[in-house]
Amino acid sequence: MGLGVGLSVLTASRHDPAAQAITAAMVGNEKGLPDLRSFAKNCDVVTFDHEHVPQEHLKALEADGHIIRPGSHALLHAQDKSVMRSRLEAMGIPGPRHRIVTDPADVAAFAAEVHANRGNVVLKTTRGGYDGKGVWLIDADTSAAVLAEPFEAGVPVLAEERVDHVRELSALIARSPYGQAVAYPIVESVQRDGICMEVVAPAPGLAPQLASQAQRIALSVAAGLDVVGVLAVELFETPDGRVVVNELAMRPHNTGHWTIDGAVTSQFENHLRAVLDLPLGSPAARAPYTVMVNILGGNLPDTYPAYRHVMARDPSLKVHWYGKDVRPGRKVGHVTAYGDDLVDLRERAWHAADYIRGDVEW
Ligand SMILES: Nc1ncnc2c1ncn2[C@@H]1O[C@H](COP(=O)(O)OP(=O)(O)OP(=O)(O)O)[C@@H](O)[C@H]1O
Ligand SMILES: [Mg+2]
């Protein structure tokens, strides 16, 4: 991305997308301290593209004198949803009522405490979830077997009241150790079955004061938790015009992929600038609207003809292909369209994603 910075990556497989892009990849176990130590000794700064490196290993690397950004004390809030909820509540940031629950009977007790019936509760494993894995929306029809599932992994389970919302938003910022921060426009993210499908930047029709409030929340969370790098704050917009925090991510985030083509400085570049304590780049959008749609694996035996077709059909579309094995439902790439006609941008981006998935034929 033109910064002239040497990058290396510790990755589980030579075939991982990051290893395909960065030739100086070390294949190893990013959850094991010996490999983390031998990787870190050749780095000036270590950062992440996911939050699953165990907290105790990060602390050990910090004790060795390595520079880890964001630091383990900040990252903890993206690793553990219960710690995050308690800390944000203490900071006065709006979130749902919540507590750790121990079994299905305790879920019913929680529902009664928040004056809700079972239809209003969301259960989450506190650690290790992603793309809706580790999240259960509980309603009156939920069977006893499903209600027992969250407790099976042996990881503490967090219960939250279900937040009534009109849509989901995301506030993306980058913050440097120096304390400089930049805020990207607030985007709308469309989720299906717990997976982010589409992002529209900026969120259409969002009241300007709500957009500023969402940006202020993200900036104060970043300052309060001492986040360095990119922070994504996933939010709910409520029917009465408030924003409520869902969760935090401290790394380049799916709701920021639009910035690669749609912003002056991408989230990836600003993440690197931030962790290197360089001045940050402008987060301004390049066009009135940018639409990003994720490409999920479908049932096409060979995606290559479809990949070529969408490029030929729409030369203004930007196609990003991650080089992963294609499996149904797995995120294997994304497309971005930018311009001023939102209806047209959405149609084109969705067409490409649906085509590669094998859902449309022309
Ligand atoms: N308290 C809640 N009220 C209403 N809906 C919720 C609540 N918590 C989660 N959801 C829904 O479930 C989705 C997934 O939840 P969450 O973001 O916590 O899980 P995740 O699997 O960690 O997601 P990610 O892939 O973003 O890491 C949310 O995007 C939202 O649609
Ligand atoms: Mg989420």
Q: Ligand 1 pocket check: which of 114, 118, 247 to mutate, most ligand atoms within 8 Å of Cβ?
A: 247
Q: What percent of the chain has pLDDT over 70?
A: 98
201-225 residue pLDDT tens: 999 999 999 999 999 999 999 999 9
User: Per residue in 124-147, pLDDT tens?
Assistant: 999 987 777 899 999 888 898 999
Q: Decide: 359 in ligand 1 pocket, CB within 6 A.
A: no
* pLDDT band per the 50, 70, 90 thresholds, residue 114: confident
Residue from 122, 131, 138, 231 to probe ligand 1 pocket by mutation (most atoms less than 8 Å from CB): 122
Average pLDDT over residues 65-70: 98
- pLDDT tens, 233-269? 999 999 999 999 999 999 999 999 999 999 999 999 9
The pLDDT tens digits for 298-345 are 888 889 999 999 999 999 999 999 999 889 899 999 999 999 999 999
Task: Decide whether any atom of ligand 1 lies within 6 Å of the 246 Cβ.
Answer: yes
Which atom of ligand 1 is nearest to 133's Cα? 21
Give the list of residues 6+ apart from residue 257 with CB closer than 8 angstroms, or none: 199, 267, 292, 320, 334, 336
Q: What is the pTM of this model?
A: 0.96
pLDDT value at residue 133: 85
Ligand 1 touching residue 244 (CB < 6 A): no
Q: How many CB atoms lie within 10 A of CB 312?
A: 7
Count other Cβ atoms within 10 Å, centred on residue 24: 10
* Mean pLDDT value across residues 96-100: 96
Residues 309/358, Cβ–Cβ less than 8 Å: no
Which of the four pLDDT bands, split at 50, 70 and 90, describes residue 2? confident
Is the shortest distance between the CB of 247 and ligand 1 below 6 Å? yes
78 lines ligand 1 (CB under 6 A): no
Instruction: Round the average pLDDT of the chain to a whole number and report it.
Output: 95
Residue 106 corresponds to which tokens in the numbers above? Answer: 């305790």
In the predicted structure, residue 187 carries a pLDDT above the cut 70: yes
Neighbours of ion ligand 2 (CB under 5 A): 234
Instruction: Select the more confidently predicted residue: 23 or 282.
Output: 282
Bigger pLDDT: 24 vs 8? 8
**Residue ranges in 65-207 assigned as alpha helix (H):** 72-79, 81-90, 104-113, 144-148
Spatial distance between the Cα atoms of 196 and 294, rounded to a whole number of angstroms? 7
> From CA 52, how far away is CA 78, in angstroms rounded?
9
Instruction: Give mean pLDDT, residues 8-23.
Output: 92
Q: What integer is the mean pLDDT of 22-37?
A: 94
156 lines ligand 1 (CB under 6 A): no
> What's the confidence (pLDDT) of residue 115?
77
- pLDDT surpassing 70 at residue 1: no
Ligand 1 centroid, distance to 316 Cα (angstroms): 32
Q: Would you state the pLDDT for residue 120?
A: 85
In this structure, which amino acid lies at residue 239?
P
pLDDT at 119: 64
